[in-house]
Amino acid sequence: MLCHMAIVVITSSGAKNARLYVEVMESAGAAVRVLIPDGHSNVATEELMRGTGGLLLTGGPDIDPALYGEVPDPDAGLDLDRPLDDLELRVLEYALDRDMPVLAICRGMQLLNVAFGGKLIQDVPNHKSQKIDGKWEPASHTIYLAPGAKAAPVIGMAGLFKVNSLHHQGLKEAQRAPRLMTTAYEVEDGLIEGLESPEHSWVIGLQCHPERQDEVPKLFGNLFQGLHERAESFTSEFAV
């Protein structure tokens, strides 16, 4: 019997940004394929996704507000990368159409919301790293993950978790795409910290950065293991 190694696609603005995600996925036993806008923008989606079993959408620059029907707020300090938006939206559509497992982190979760027709808050204060005594310290806060979330059995439990906070954009219920379900939120201000698609088997979005393993509970590493396992199931199911 042929053994089909599951390949997980990791999208990123560049190779440096992808490094931590590659490390955690390879530690979980997955083979990875990194897609960046340079060199991949003109390649057909089917070609980019050939033989893959899972998709990891990573953190990175801000999403172009034009994609959710708004003009950029000049005070929001936006850092845009439209080629990355376009690349991620098409590989995400490919994955969703096939019910491929998707893990969407930080910007990835925001992109998931935009792809489903939602909007974003262009600038959220007090959620980014701050400089303390000359050193950058990631902000942190407490989130509540609902017991009904698909992420809960993957992580190993639901409830309250202290996690890192490295984003300056986000969403609340008013911006959420109606087809997505809120599975986690920030206890203090109600910002959405988790999104999932009820229409798909395994589409999990989280606002925090679990790949920065020292800044989140150890259990969050199970998300990468879970994505790898689902990618293996997907690959063996569709292997010919």
User: Is residue 40 among the annotated active site residues?
Assistant: no
In this prediction, residues 76-93 reach a mean pLDDT of: 97
Q: Which of 209, 215, 228, 232 is catalytic?
A: 209
User: Is residue 168 among the annotated active site residues?
Assistant: no
User: Is residue 209 among the annotated active site residues?
Assistant: yes
Residue ranges of domains in the chain:
7-238
Q: Which of 196, 211, 215, 232 is catalytic?
A: 211
In this prediction, residues 176-191 reach a mean pLDDT of: 96
The reported pLDDT for the residue numbered 1 is 39
What's the predicted TM-score (pTM) here? 0.95
Read off the amino acid at residue 4: H
Architecture in CATH for domain 7-238 = 3-Layer(aba) Sandwich (3.40)
Using DSSP's 3-state secondary structure scheme, residue 23 falls into: helix
Query: pLDDT tens-digit profile of 197-235?
Result: 999 999 999 999 999 999 999 999 999 999 999 999 999
The reported pLDDT for the residue numbered 3 is 54
Q: CB within 8 A of 51, min separation 6: which ones?
A: 7, 235
Query: pLDDT tens-digit profile of 42-77?
Result: 999 999 999 999 999 999 999 999 999 999 999 999
Confidence of residue 125 (pLDDT cuts 50, 70, 90): confident
Q: Where are the beta strands (DSSP E) in the chain?
A: 7-11, 31-35, 52-57, 102-105, 130-132, 135-137, 139-145, 159-165, 181-186, 192-196, 203-206
